[in-house]
Copies of this chain bind each other. A is one copy, B any other.
Amino acid sequence: MSNNSKHILKYHIKTRVFYDNPNFGPGVSRIMELVKETGRLSEAYKIMGLSSSKGWKIIKKAEEDLGFPLFVSVVGGKGGGKSELSPEGADLLDRYQAFVYELNTEAEKLFNKHFEE
């Protein structure tokens, strides 16, 4: 593999966790991270450049496979329309993030091992 500054071979890993259909992955986990930060699904979609119908579909598909809600609405408070992660959603996100982080650390080592020259 030739590597120069313009033209470097890279890798990309997409990780999903699921029961029957691999619907929970980078998209929905990113929405969840942004809801943790902003408290709003609408803000998460905006940052990701997703329409709300597209964002909602990604969430629904993941929830259908997992069998539990990923978000809960926060009632009351100023402004309304706020969301946070459900307890099961927060637990899943924590595990998924740790899994993906450690996997990427291993991937970096293995990629260098097999593709360096």
How many Å lie between the Cα of A99 and that of B111 in the bound state? 6
Q: Given the complex, which residues of B lie within 8 Å of A15, measured CB to CB?
A: 11-13, 107
How many Å lie between the Cα of A8 and that of B67 in the bound state? 12
Q: Give the nearest-CB partner of A3 in chain B.
A: B19
How many Å lie between the Cα of A14 and that of B18 in the bound state? 14
Q: Give the nearest-CB partner of A97 in chain B.
A: B114
Closest chain-B Cβ to A86's Cβ sits at a distance in Å of 14
How many Å lie between the Cα of A7 and that of B115 in the bound state? 37
A48 within 8 A of B: no
Q: Given the complex, which residues of B lie within 8 Å of A92, measured CB to CB?
A: 1
Closest chain-B Cβ to A102's Cβ sits at a distance in Å of 5
* B110 in contact with A99 (CB, 8 Å): yes
A contact residues vs B (CB 8 Å cutoff): 1, 7-19, 22, 67, 92, 95-96, 98-99, 102-103, 106-107, 110-111, 113-115
20 A–B contacts from the bound complex (CB under 8 Å): A1-B92, A7-B19, A10-B18, A10-B19, A11-B16, A11-B17, A11-B18, A11-B99, A12-B18, A13-B14, A13-B15, A14-B14, A14-B16, A95-B114, A98-B114, A102-B110, A102-B114, A103-B106, A103-B107, A106-B106
